[in-house]
Structure formats: C-alpha cells, structure tokens
Amino acid sequence: MALIVQKYGGTSVGSPDRIKNVARRVAQYHSRGDQVVVVVSAMSGVTDNLIKLAKEIMPLPNEREMDVLLATGEQTTIALTAIALHSLGVPAASLTGAQAGIVTDGVHTKAKIQNITPKKIHDLLNQGQVVIVAGFQGQTIEGQVTTLGRGGSDLTAIALAAALKAQLCQIYTDVDGVYTADPRIVPGAKKLDEISYDEMLELASLGAKVMQSRSVEFAKKFGVIFEVRSSLNDNPGTIVKEETRNMEEVVVRGVSLDKNQAKVTLVAVPDKPGIAARIFKAIGDSNINVDMIVQNISHGSGAPATDLSFTIDKPELLKAQKVIDSLKKEVGFGQVIATENIAKLSIVGVGMKSHSGVAGKMFDILAREGINIHMISTSEIKISVVIDLAKGEQAMKTVHQAFLG
Ligand code: ASP
Ligand code: MG
C-alpha cells in the first residue's frame, strides 16, 4: 500500500469523458489498496476563458477578484471528478485548496505556498476515501482566496507530495513524458526515461513547456521525485530526479527552440562606467525580463563606444522600445535596431560539465548549414545561440540529429 499523489492537467480533464477516464485510472490504484490524492486543473480552456471574461469588463481587473474568479475553474473539476468516482462506486471527497490546508502569502495571482496542514486529507484517506484537491489555489491566514500563477496545479501536486511524504508523485498530461525535442518539430525526438531537475528546469524555461518551472524548483528543493506521463495510455513516463553519476554520460539530454524572444541592439553606446547599469535598471524597473546580453569591444576613433545587444520576451518589445527611447538623450547612443525575427536554440545536458568540445561541435553543425549565429550564451549545462527565426526549425532538426539522432 502506497500513498500516491496524481495530478491531472487541463486536457486530461477536458470533458466529461476525460474525467470518467481519470476516475477509472484512480479507481485502479484505489482498488489495489493505495491511498490516492488527486490534484486537478481546470478543464482545458476554462482559465483562459475566465480571464477573457474579466478583461471584457475591465482591462486591468482587481487581482483579489481575479483569484476568486479563477479558483472556480478548479473547483468545478474537483466536484466533477468526485462525482465520476462515485459513479464507479469509489468513495471520494473533493477539497478546495483552503480545505486541504494550503496556506499561501497574500500576493494575489502569484501567491507562494507558505505551509500545508494536511490533517483533513489524512482523515479522509484513513476513512478509505480518495481525496481530490483543487490545484492552483490556496488561502491566506486571513482567509483570502489566492492562486499560485499559471500552471500552478503542478506546484500544488509537488507541494502536497512533499507534505504528505508520498511514495509516488505522478504528473499526468497529454504527452508521454519529456522528449529530447518537441516531437511536432523533430519527428525523431525520443522520450526520455529520466531527466535531472536542472535539465528539466533549463528545458522548461527555454520554451519546452511541460511543467511550471516553479514546481520543478520546489521538487528539487524538497527532493520530490516525480513522473511525467500520459493520462491517455499506460506507457511509463519520464522520471524527474536529482542527477546521478550515470546521467553525466549523456552529453546532451535535449534540444529546445524558443521562438518567443526579440532582440534589441543599441549601436555606439558610450563605453564608460555606469551606462549598462543605467540601461538595464530602467528596463528592470519596467518589469521587462532580459535574457541574453552581449556587449562588444570598443570601436571607432573618437570617444570609446560599444554595441550592446540583448533579448527579451517578444510581447515586451514595444514596452522596451519606449524605455530605450526615453534614455536616448541621457545616455547618448546611436541607432536602435530591434527585431522579432529571431529564435533561441539551446542544447541542455548535465554531461556538459565533464565533456569538452560541445560548443565547438554545435557551432560547426550550424556553420555547415549556413546558419549565422547572432548571440551566444552558456551555462554549466546549457549552450544557447540566437539565430534567424526562419532557420530555427531546420537548425533544431540538424542539431538534434547530430547529438541525439
Ligand atoms: N488552471 C490554471 C491554469 O490554466 C492552473 C493549471 O492548469 O495548472 O493556469
Ligand atoms: Mg498545466
């Protein structure tokens, strides 16, 4: 007998039939004698739709009220899932985040979990019930409804697995697990049996959106081993855990492509102390996330000047251009070149720590394809390049073939 936390995402509970399918799965574990805690998301599209409704009334709705609104999505699913289990004769009870004892801070729409008191969950499990918990939501100590940020049901599941010391934590989704690349772009992509937290984090933040990044960080911090798998078949999924020595034998675990970035270049920026600080402070103050930054060496014969390029999320480009324009007089740079037609291609693997020549190999593959590299950035387990958007998918296929083919 094991205590299992299972999380089902929006597509896995996207219709009454899908909810019945979830109930059948849960019933199997329950009939084995396992204690099952089920965390569910809102049915697919529901959260987006609630946000749309609110914005039709007012462009910037109050965040406390947004939490009250969005929490209804998951509340619908917990009740329907309990009803589906009852229809199979399985005893089950639904709990909202607050009822499940999930206490958060008061930062509406992106609250952090502060602690979990799972007494009610244990009581129900001990009565032989399946417990169904609403993902993505909690409550402040003052009793205000909060939500945990988009994709937050993953976090609910991981945090509950930690608090309940679950033997198994399964994240059910509509793909078979984590792949070496997006299979829609790279047909030869392979499902991974296992991946380390750090690799998963890099791949997630690089645009391979399988799970909410915060939930993976949480799992790493508390050592929660979990499995990402499909709710639509019985194939084993991908185990996510702390890296082991044999994981380092694989140099590249996965390749990802982020098409959601834009690049800004400031030409002839005065090369003296405090300039970069001034520019990036202004951008940071406007809540624009900067990813890569590249600064060239000084050039020209007059006052020393340098070119400065950086990347940001595409939807922030207009906002960034405004901030830059407002600095032009004060900082005194030349032309500003902005483009949305870029993609960031990355290779990720803990094996890079102990293997050399990986960057050279990647650049060589791109060169043979005639693909120009605009920017490069590296970490211990990742190499990213910015290239033309139009060449992005071709580059991804070739690099995948060379390292993982
Ligand atoms: N329903 C929320 C969202 O769509 C939370 C989740 O699905 O994990 O972001
Ligand atoms: Mg999700």
190-217: pLDDT as tens digits: 999 999 999 999 887 666 678 888 999 9
Which 8-state DSSP code applies to residue 133? E
Tokens describing residue 232: 């639509």
Tokens describing residue 86: 């009852």
Kindly tell me if the per-residue pLDDT of 24 is higher than 70. yes
What mean pLDDT value characterizes the chain? 95
Contact by Cβ (8 Å): 317, 261: no
- Which residues place a Cβ less than 5 A from the ion ligand 2? 9, 151
- Pocket probe for ligand 1: among 153, 173, 174, the residue whose CB has the most ligand atoms within 8 Å is 153
Kindly tell me if the per-residue pLDDT of 340 is higher than 90. yes
- In the reported structure, the alpha carbon of residue 42 is separated from the centroid of ligand 2 by a whole-number distance in angstroms of 9
Kindly tell me if the per-residue pLDDT of 57 is higher than 90. yes
Instruction: Please state the rounded mean pLDDT for residues 162-174.
Output: 96
pLDDT above 90 covers a percentage of the chain that reads 89
Kindly tell me if the per-residue pLDDT of 283 is higher than 90. yes
Nearest CA to ligand 1 atom 9: 150
Q: Is 178 helix (H, G, I), strand (E, B) or coil?
A: coil
Grade residue 296 by pLDDT with cuts at 50, 70 and 90.
confident
SS3 breakdown of the chain: % helix, strand, coil, rounded to 5?
40, 25, 35
Residue 110: CB within 6 Å of ligand 1? no
Kindly tell me if the per-residue pLDDT of 176 is higher than 70. yes
Instruction: Please state the rounded mean pLDDT for residues 279-299.
Output: 89
Atom of ligand 1 nearest to the CA of 42: 1
Strands, E assignment, 43-197: 92-95, 102-104, 113-116, 130-134, 137-139, 145-147, 168-173, 194-196
pLDDT the model gives residue 207? 61
- In the reported structure, the alpha carbon of residue 366 is separated from the centroid of ligand 1 by a whole-number distance in angstroms of 37
Instruction: Please state the rounded mean pLDDT for residues 232-241.
Output: 96
Kindly tell me if the per-residue pLDDT of 344 is higher than 80. yes
State which amino acid sits at residue 287.
N
Grade residue 387 by pLDDT with cuts at 50, 70 and 90.
very high
pLDDT the model gives residue 206? 67
CA–CA dist 263, 260 (Å, integer): 10
Atom of ligand 1 nearest to the CA of 148: 5
Contact by Cβ (8 Å): 124, 100: no
pLDDT the model gives residue 171? 97
Contact by Cβ (8 Å): 77, 156: no
Instruction: Please state the rounded mean pLDDT for residues 112-133.
Output: 98
Nearest CA to ligand 1 atom 8: 151
Grade residue 266 by pLDDT with cuts at 50, 70 and 90.
very high
Residue 42: CB within 6 Å of ligand 1? yes
The tens digit of pLDDT for each residue in 31-52 reads 999 999 999 999 999 999 999 9
pTM reported for the whole predicted model: 0.88
Residues 6 or more apart whose CB falls under 8 angstroms from that of 257 comprise 181, 182, 185, 207, 343, 344, 345, 346, 392, 393, 395, 396
The burial class, CB within 10 Å (0-12 / 13-18 / 19+), for 99 is: middle
Q: Is 212 helix (H, G, I), strand (E, B) or coil?
A: coil
Atom of ligand 1 nearest to the CA of 149: 9
How far lies 243's CA from each of 199, 247, 285, 349, in Å?
Answer: 9, 6, 36, 10
pLDDT the model gives residue 297? 78
